[in-house]
Structure 1
Amino acid sequence: MPNPIKVVLVEDSAVAREIMQRLLDSSPEVDVVGTAQDGIQGLDVIAQTKPDVICVDLQMPRMDGLEFTQKVMSDYPRPILVVSNAVHPSDVDNIFNLMSAGALDFFPKPTSGTATDYEKLKSALVTKIKVLASKAK
């Protein structure tokens, strides 16, 4: 089995960060190597852990997801998945700005739900991360 994909989560909500970490940790294909609660902390974690893929929220204090994406792409270019409730297919401006800055895809922020929802969410999230990681190689 190949090495798991190293992922860093940058998310200001402790609850959302915990849900995402549980989703990803339950997959043998993904290893969460670091977490951060804002973009400034996230840049430090990325420098230390050198992940394959970064999952970032859009709306965070101190440094939002857009500014963070721009910094990552200039300093540590690697695939970025934006995980946010503020990014929906109908939200063209946010999506355009994030994609222009270098984010490769987006995913709705997980909330608590049924076990079936959890498995679907995990499968969809892990699949997106695998696709992004393959683009980095």
Structure 2
Amino acid sequence: MAKIKVLLVEDSAVAINIYEKMLSSSSHIEVVGKAKDGKEGLALVAKLNPDVICTDLQMPEMDGLEFTKQVMAKYPTPILVLSNAVQKSDIDNIYEVMKAGAVDVMAKPQTALGGNSDSMQNELIVKIRVLANKEVTAIPLS
């Protein structure tokens, strides 16, 4: 079976490394690209045609919400928003990115705060495996 191709869009090098480490533990997933903002991410989506995109919300150049809108208009792809801005209390942010076409959200792993990174890793891998099978349709830019 082909590996699930994942594109990571995140301006924190530390977070990218953590995600990459978590995802590389799965034999089903391959990180095919990394971008530090939405603008760079958009160029990579066109080139790499990933199965799933993981993006942060708060980034320079083009934030995750705008990035999600652009991707869903041009290259509909399942998007998982991995961000500090999608904690359970961030209803508005979650609503906005879901409306823009993101399929799921997940709060950034708080591993530095003594969080359980194993359960985080499992949750991330499961989400990506589920999202890889989701059919998404284009959402025209309004």
Question: TM-score, normalization: structure 2?
Answer: 0.90
1:67 corresponds to 2:43: no
Which SS does the other structure have where 1:135 is aligned? Answer: coil
Report sequence identity in percent.
53
Which structure 1 residue ranges, 4+ long, deviate > 3 Å from structure 2? 111-116
Tell me the equivalent position of 2:21. 22
Tell me how many residue pairs correspond in the alignment. 136
Shift of the alpha carbon at 1:93? 0.6
Which SS does the other structure have where 1:34 is aligned? Answer: strand
Gaps of 5+ in 2: 137-142
Q: Which amino acid in the other structure matches residue 33 of structure 1?
A: V
Q: Which amino acid in the other structure matches residue 2 of structure 2?
A: N
Alignment CA distance shift 1:114-1:39 (3 Å):
closer
Tell me the equivalent position of 2:107. 108
Gaps of 5+ in 1: none
Structure 2: distance between partners of 1:23 and 1:115: 16
TM-superposition CA deviations, 1:60-116 (whole Å, max 9, x none): 001000000000000100100000011112211101110000001111112435999
1:10 corresponds to 2:12: no
| TM-align CA RMSD | 1.8
Q: Is the 8 A contact 1:82 1:106 kept in 2?
A: yes
Tell me the equivalent position of 2:78. 79
Structure 2: distance between partners of 1:56 and 1:114: 21
Q: Is the 8 A contact 1:16 1:111 kept in 2?
A: no
Q: Is the 8 A contact 2:109 2:115 kept in 1?
A: no
Question: TM-score, normalization: structure 1?
Answer: 0.93
Q: Is the 8 A contact 1:55 1:81 kept in 2?
A: yes
Moved more, 18-27 or 111-120: 111-120
Q: Is the 8 A contact 1:52 1:136 kept in 2?
A: no
Q: Which amino acid in the other structure matches residue 132 of structure 1?
A: L
Shift of the alpha carbon at 1:117? 2.0
Q: Is the 8 A contact 1:56 1:82 kept in 2?
A: yes
